[in-house]
Amino acid sequence: MTVPRPLLLATALLVAATGAHAATVIRGARVIDGTGAPAKEDVTLVVDGDHFSMVGPGLRVKMPDGTKVVDYTGKTIIPGLISDHSHIGLVDGTKAGQPALYSRENALRQLRQWRAYGVTTVTTLGINNPEVFYPLRADLHAGKADGADLFGADHGIGVPNGAPPAKMMQAGSSQLDRPATPDEARAAVDAAAARGTDLVKIWVDDFNGTLPVKMTPEIWRAVIAEAHAKHLRVAAHVYYLDDARKLVDDGVDILAHGVRDKPVDQGFIDAMKQHGTWYIATLDLNEAAYIYARHPAWMDQPFFSHAVQPALATQFADSAWRDKVRDDRATPVNEAALKTNEQNFKRIYDAGGKVGFGTDSGATPLRIPGFAEHRELALMVDAGLSPLQALNVATERAASLLGLDDRGVIANGKRADFVVLGSDPTNDIEASTHIEAVWQRGVQVSGKVTDFTP
């Protein structure tokens, strides 16, 4: 027997209203649920505590007394965005890489910015100080701290005299391991596992030939084997196709950047699919290295300026800085890397590869928390995805990469983490920037970004 829908919703409302938590009914909105499905008009959402207890077509039912009703007629709701690759506590203004920046206060400043920009879950992929990171993660998971929810990869495993570059990341042994032998690498994994890390991070790159050494296969194989023995997955910083191919064949779980030196081939894509390897393109990363020196029109919009701390805004306005970036030999390399990254991402996406969402925001001052994620959406569309596909990558698929089934879509039983937009991004992804409100765990936590001070 099929129960008519109006009765189901009315029952859910009564249960919600008489349960332990006060219910909130959100009605009138267009909903993009994160699965890639088309938007649905006039959806009613019942929020019970921190999750959705009912999601269905709009209905005119009598609300039980005490039910809070929010009318979002004309607005579009999307799930909160999820970053699979960011960093906390590495930058503040134009300062970067100093261990003192890894404070709870500075990390929370950034996590509030991500959240105000609609990114409700953030993964800090290495270079974390465990004394700050673990208590902060626990408090954010429990709703006892104010900012995006947090996951992370403990210290991360770099290379002596290699990646990540010491001049970029001055972090010492309190934030980073640089094992010289497989035994030391296994010990680093064991220590991170004992502290409760979510993932293990490795760096396999020479940063455009600027570093004398790269991580050797014997080190990464030791890391992957030890991590898997501890039921942990390994995410690798990569740049070159040859390294990515070897890592996939050796069982790495996540490529934390796109391949940017050459086009990916079918053999590589087949290997990724056979091993179930995840791929995070980080398209915005290379663009961020040069784009601000060109002052595109969007830099004059409040959506951008409210994400930029004063010291960084001063840098962007400095013509000497802009000339330096424009004349930098790295600029054409970064432009080409973006183009190759977009083409590779589209090819892997079309082939049915497992793609996550991330920008490496927070790794340097130019990778601006929250703003970077919206550029990434725009660049995914530039690469050939539809806006609904790009949003699916940034929500449902990003949650899936993290192994989280409690978020990433708008559906019964999922966390009520969502973003209210003033216009519909279905045909123009730019609408993702028209944020009117952000809700986290069933509560509105912010309004327009113009109310946010970076």
CB of 314 to Zn ion, least distance (A): 25
- Nearer of residues 106 and 364 to Zn ion, judged by Cβ: 364
- Candidates 136-144, 353-361, 390-398, 413-421 — which segment interacts with Zn ion by CB under 5 A? 353-361
154 with 233: CB under 8 angstroms? no
Interacting residues with Zn ion between 106 and 165 (CB under 5 A): 125
141 Rama class: left (phi>0) / alpha (psi -120 to 50) / beta = alpha
Distance CA 186, CA 182 (A): 6
Count other C-beta atoms under 10 Å from residue 451's C-beta: 9
449 with 438: CB under 8 angstroms? no
Distance CA 38, CA 33 (A): 8
- Nearer of residues 33 and 360 to Zn ion, judged by Cβ: 360
CB of 428 to Zn ion, least distance (A): 29
Q: Measure the CA angle with vertex 88, ends 84 and 89; round to 5°.
A: 165
Asked whether position 360 contacts Zn ion by CB under 5 A, the answer is yes
- Nearer of residues 101 and 363 to Zn ion, judged by Cβ: 363
Supply the DSSP string of 297-345, one letter for each residue: GGGGSHHHHTTS-HHHHHHHH-HHHHHHHHH-THHHHHHHHHHHHHHHH
- Nearer of residues 33 and 84 to Zn ion, judged by Cβ: 84
CB of 364 to Zn ion, least distance (A): 9
Q: Which two tokens stand for residue 337?
A: 């890397």
- Nearer of residues 277 and 361 to Zn ion, judged by Cβ: 361
CB of 168 to Zn ion, least distance (A): 11
CB of 208 to Zn ion, least distance (A): 16
CB of 38 to Zn ion, least distance (A): 34
Distance CA 219, CA 189 (A): 11
CB of 203 to Zn ion, least distance (A): 9
- Nearer of residues 54 and 227 to Zn ion, judged by Cβ: 227
213 with 159: CB under 8 angstroms? yes
Interacting residues with Zn ion between 365 and 424 (CB under 5 A): none
**Hey, CA dihedral for 236, 241, 242, 246, is it positive or negative?**
positive
CB of 351 to Zn ion, least distance (A): 25
CB of 166 to Zn ion, least distance (A): 16
- Nearer of residues 46 and 338 to Zn ion, judged by Cβ: 338
Count other C-beta atoms under 10 Å from residue 431's C-beta: 17
- Nearer of residues 281 and 410 to Zn ion, judged by Cβ: 281
- Nearer of residues 360 and 424 to Zn ion, judged by Cβ: 360
Q: Measure the CA angle with vertex 351, ends 424 and 369; round to 5°.
A: 45
208 Rama class: left (phi>0) / alpha (psi -120 to 50) / beta = left
Nearest residue to Zn ion by CB is 360
- Candidates 35-43, 112-120, 146-154, 358-366 — which segment interacts with Zn ion by CB under 5 A? 358-366
- Nearer of residues 149 and 284 to Zn ion, judged by Cβ: 284
CB of 86 to Zn ion, least distance (A): 7
Q: Measure the CA angle with vertex 128, ends 195 and 251; round to 5°.
A: 70
Interface with Zn ion: number of residues (CB under 5 A): 3
- Candidates 22-30, 115-123, 357-365, 423-431 — which segment interacts with Zn ion by CB under 5 A? 357-365
Interacting residues with Zn ion between 169 and 208 (CB under 5 A): none
Strands 68-71 and 23-31: parallel
Distance CA 83, CA 68 (A): 31
The secondary element (H helix, E strand) that includes residue 151 is strand 149-152
Site of interaction with Zn ion (CB under 5 A):
125, 360, 363
